Structure 1
């Protein structure tokens, strides 16, 4: 069946929010009009869907067939993992499988793929000549994660007794486009600039981990607010200055900006041998020679952490539960964490679950080591939504597939 020129598009059944499609109607037009000799595609069969961002008629209008039955397809494309019964023998599939780190929850899927002699092309593992990922949705994930987090902060701070401009911001899917969402964030920023933030929650410091597309995209949205970026080494100075009520910056009871800090692996770990300096190549090759220091040098000054780093079990954790508990016992200001990686018990041990677009946050109470699904009470709000890009389903598509 593989290579027979018939391509299938799955209807996406992983959850109700997944509205994306691996190919738009325009992509299908190009493939079908190019002819099999050039594109390798003779037919495209699309499973019907009433929630897909591109409705069935648009596909039918460009020559695709609409059918639940994909048994004639040699190549089947999706975004998220399909239902088990949709794994047909001796086919090729392409989707985000989340299996390459041996994620426990997806091992039954991998077993099924192996049993059916399926060729799996995982978008996350497709890379170019320099090893750079070609199919990455990090930009839209980063944009959505920070918008949703700002929305959550508005609710959380209200529960803690503070009214903030963030309270008027919706979550990403509520906006008709990325431009509309950005306009809403800009409006929040204008209110911060004119009305300010309560001094009791300031300095409001957003720590972004990593230097990839997701981190840059989250910073892109963050920069729509009145802000100043601070080097990691200057965080203690910022915190001390803000705590000094006699300092000129604290002559008002309101603060008119937020702060950002970008940290990379050299800020998160240090060599066990204190006579040696950090070396990135050595760290990736021998992480066992490094101790974690994020909990000592960065986390005590963070109000919010946006985690965008790639992590494997061989690396030190960014924050363990014990470290998080110690931070709260000492009264540090951490109020929210968003983990874009969605690794269960990964770089942030507190994440024992992913969250959903319907319910993007859980509350972790470090002092009681308890998890809650509300915004009230002690603790830190945590978000780990594994399909953030679908919140911008209209604009989000597989990267490197041009619409021109």
Structure 2
């Protein structure tokens, strides 16, 4: 029986990412579940799991991974780290023609690398099966509450990235004793939104219906989950149809203004198509009845569905203020009249141990069975961007991008 040699990459992208595709215990599970698999781990001084945590379980460390058949990382691999003629798994961030990764895709083609992008691994229904979305939602919701507490000087939570893991972060919740009777809106219904809801539920905040959220007053903090149908309308159609909305978002209008009038903290977790309407406009934010004062833009679409998200923020400096009167940005918490925005674009990095364990679970359940059994169902083939020095058929639309042409502005 021929073995498949898998190398766990050290993350080389700057800024540093501490996540791993497979934690030490998940590596052991791989070896137990898939006798055809062999594993080696590239040493790393910054990984959230130490080298010793791997070696203590008998997992070998190896700097040179040239003998491996498959190399698995998380984020983009630096061009000078790419080994020719190998199969790589990582989030390449190239499928939307992102300008900053054009040279990476060109190098992958030039080095005859087979690139399988996690973002493109889907089931038969087209749903993604490996993602960090849940952890973006968990950390984003926590950061949103942290930001609201600091804005109004109610409480000061330890930043998520200073917490050892999820359990440590949950301990911080006990500090939230004086959250006023605010209303929190969570948009979306996918992994990200579910992660955010998980935090609010663990805090034992009360979830209410859309009707009650809009029309009732409460003497305690409450939250609502909003789906696309709650804040969009197609003027020429009287019945909501989700399929039509996703196929023809340009035909719809936003009705989010009714929520903006009663919401204190907005947690943006919904995927946004640029052809769809924005939730609200800069002009809307200048109206006296516009109540939102804190935004956790967890999906982090710059100049997207939430217009006050004018830039990405960082883990070290996660928030900024937006002045609705001038449209200008200011330091976070600089004026109560400003809208304070949290827009970190790499939220799962703040709880890397938990996020990595969860991701490894998905790899073991959804990816490795196809990898070790020669992808008989074509699951990995659908996610393969390059092979044999060429773009695969599904990704031929990237040809101009790969040739040095059109890119998507950052």
TM-score, normalization by structure 2: 0.79
Partner of residue 217, structure 1: 195
Q: Determine whether 1:102 maps to 2:97.
A: yes
Unaligned runs of 5+ in 2: 366-410
Could you say what secondary structure the match of 1:337 adopts? strand
Q: Determine whether 1:9 maps to 2:5.
A: no
Q: Choose which of 324, 341, 344 in structure 1 pairs with 2:302.
A: 344
Change (3 A) 1:187 1:371: closer
How big is the shift at 1:11?
A: 1.6
**Whole-Å Cα distance in 1 between the matches of residues 204 and 27 of structure 2?**
43
Q: After superposition, where does 1:93-132 map in structure 2 within 5 Å?
A: 93-132=88-127
Unaligned runs of 5+ in 1: 159-163, 198-202, 242-248, 250-254
Change (3 A) 1:113 1:297: farther
How big is the shift at 1:22?
A: 0.7
Could you say what secondary structure the match of 1:153 adopts? helix
**Whole-Å Cα distance in 1 between the matches of residues 311 and 62 of structure 2?**
35
Q: Deviations over 1:327-368 (max 9, x none)?
A: 233252211111222333333343343222111112222211
**Whole-Å Cα distance in 2 between the matches of residues 178 and 24 of structure 1?**
16
Q: Which fold has the larger relative contact order, with Cα–Cα distance below 8 Å and residues 6 or more apart in sequence?
A: 2
Q: Determine whether 1:267 maps to 2:225.
A: no
| 1:226–1:258 Cα contact (<8 Å) kept | no
Could you say what secondary structure the match of 1:151 adopts? helix
Aligned-residue RMSD, C-alpha = 2.7
| 1:225–1:258 Cα contact (<8 Å) kept | no
Could you say what secondary structure the match of 1:66 adopts? coil
Partner of residue 348, structure 2: 389
**Whole-Å Cα distance in 2 between the matches of residues 228 and 61 of structure 1?**
44
**Whole-Å Cα distance in 2 between the matches of residues 375 and 80 of structure 1?**
32
Q: After superposition, where does 1:5-404 map in structure 2 within 5 Å?
A: 5-16=4-15, 18-32=17-31, 39-42=35-38, 44-158=39-153, 164=154, 167-188=155-176, 191-192=177-178, 197=180, 203-225=181-203, 227-238=205-216, 241=217, 255=219, 257-273=220-236, 275-294=237-256, 296-319=257-280, 323-377=281-335, 378-396=337-355, 397=357, 398=359, 399-401=361-363
**Whole-Å Cα distance in 2 between the matches of residues 115 and 342 of structure 1?**
32
How big is the shift at 1:394?
A: 2.3
How big is the shift at 1:63?
A: 4.8
Change (3 A) 1:354 1:74: farther
Partner of residue 388, structure 2: none
| 2:260–2:291 Cα contact (<8 Å) kept | no
**Whole-Å Cα distance in 2 between the matches of residues 86 and 300 of structure 1?**
51
How big is the shift at 1:384?
A: 2.2
TM-score, normalization by structure 1: 0.80
Change (3 A) 1:214 1:72: same
